[in-house]
Amino acid sequence: MAKKSWAEPYKIKMVELLKMTTKEERIAAIKEAGYNTFLLKSEDVYIDLLTDSGTSAMSDQQWAAMMLGDEAYAGSKNFYNLYDTIQEHYGYKYIVPTHQGRGSEHILSQLTIKKGDIVPGNMYFTTTRLHQELAGGEFVDVIIDEAHDSQNEFPFKGNVDIKKMEKLIKEYGAKKIPYVSLEANVNMAGGQPFSMENLKELHALCSKHKIPIMLDATRCVENSYFIQQREKGYEKKTVKQILKEICSYTDGCTMSAKKDSLVNIGGFFACNDEELYKKAQNMCVVYEGLHTYGGMAGRDMEALCVGIRESVMDEHQQARIGQTIYLGEKLMKAGIPIVQPIGSHAVFLDAKKFLPHVDQDEYPAQSLAAEIYIESGVRTMERGNVSAGRDPHTGKNRRPKLELVRLTLPRRVYTQAHMDVVAESVIELFERRNSITGLKMIYEPEYLRFFQAKFNKL
């Protein structure tokens, strides 16, 4: 069917009613939550754009698959089905299921990183870097400089800077680099893809020095769609073909199935090295569950099989990313400062530009996320100074270049009219932005503080 719009390739079969709240109720709720949107009750939220993690709507086929759960402790047939499905779509030889993405990050980090090792990556992700640090490694950012500039419109801002990589290898030697941590569709940069050309260059460099590339495949299907849309030579390839080609230039992956794969829970670790696989299976039984379920129920694995197949359908990605672009363009037209180009899974507001009068140590993005909630009941997330945490050497806030509020779109959940409401409320807030003040942190947990920190209004 020829179509120019991003209209959904599905119709709605079941709905979930939402509670409507007043502004007074929302002011009380966010205060109670310490101005941290993670601590709000979801009941008090109208449109939930906190995250696209585990929040997707499953299809009727996925719900039907749930009924096929084989809940045997060992050797469930859903596991073998999952194994085959992952091999078919991602192409890796060996697979270990995990309860979610960080379970696989834990296994990979503990098995491959030694104290004093350097782990290069194309911008950090919160849980990924923490696991690398807990294993004794030091994360070094090797993403291209364009990624740190919210207004740069380069189409592949997730690319690795090959020169930075070469310099790192020269400085530390390949032996100190257990692997390159390569994230698809870099979340913290605004959902920005790498190009196949860049990956091939990285692959050539890493092969020469025998450094494995471990893919964070969490949003690799979305990255594949961007390659199809933007990279010469890939216009005629399917998303499914591009995904497999990407994986073929890497040595393994960690995966949170809660994103691309359209399920509410799950993940996996995959690799091509048999020895690493055996060790990963063994770690799995200590921390996740038996190596044939890794923390997932049989029915979860079956729904994941269907989810992977649906995720690589071109029309699904066109609608999924089309909706994000629809919201982003609406905000751009109204002059709202957002990260360019618009990413796959979210629209990111540039809080430094939105609230230039709030110092970064007064957490402008955290404050803006709280205000958006008060304005309209829309829940968003901070991705700035709070998420970045403290530098382990100096103990000071990292004050990252990007200070963002993420409006993350769950897959297949909200309508175009919902997007209009979101845009209207952000625009109204922008008009009275001068009245918004910063925050003071009054409770700070040791790890991943953004999840549980509490604040007071300044």
Ligand X SMILES: *Cc1c(COP(=O)(O)O)cnc(C)c1O
Segment 81 to 100, residues that bind ligand X, using CB under 6 A: 100
Q: Minimum distance from CB of 191 to ligand X (Å)?
A: 10
CB of 48 to ligand X, least distance (A): 16
Both tokens of 276, joined, read: 């690493």
Kindly report the number of other CB atoms within 10 A of residue 287's CB atom.
14
- Residue 259 among the catalytic residues: yes
Residue nearest to ligand X (CB): 101
Token pair for 443: 């409770």
Label each residue of 51-102 as H, E or C. CCCCCCCCCHHHHHHHCCCCCCCCCCHHHHHHHHHHHHHHCCCEEEEECCHH
CA distance 5 to 419: 15
Q: State the nearest-atom distance from the C-beta of 128 to ligand X, in Å.
A: 5
Kindly state whether residue 101 participates in binding ligand X, applying the rule CB under 6 A.
yes
Question: What is residue 36's DSSP assignment?
Answer: -
109 binds ligand X (CB under 6 A): no
Residues 216-245 that bind ligand X (CB under 6 A): 216, 218
DSSP string for 244-262: HHHHHTSSEEEEETTSTT-
Q: Which of 269, 348, 373, 450 is catalytic?
A: 450
Judged by beta carbon, residue 193 or residue 267, the one nearer ligand X is 267
Length of the chain: 458
449 is catalytic: no
Joined tokens for residue 38: 């993670």
Tell me, yes or no, if 26 is annotated catalytic: no
Count CA within 13 A, CB hemisphere, residue 166. Answer: 6
Among residues 250, 256, 385, 425, which is the contact residue for ligand X, using CB under 6 A?
A: 256
Q: CA of 382: how far to CAs of 2, 36, 120, 443, in Å?
A: 38, 9, 24, 16
Among 89, 237, 258, 291, binds ligand X (CB under 6 A): 258
As measured in angstroms, the least distance from the Cβ of 186 to ligand X is: 8
Active site residue 125: yes
Number of residues that bind ligand X (CB under 6 A): 15
**Residue 366 found at the interface with ligand X (CB under 6 A):** no
| CB 28, min distance to ligand X, A | 29
Positions marked catalytic: 73, 125-126, 216, 259, 383, 450
What residues make contact with ligand X under the rule CB under 6 A? 53, 100-102, 125, 127-128, 183, 187, 216, 218, 256, 258-259, 267
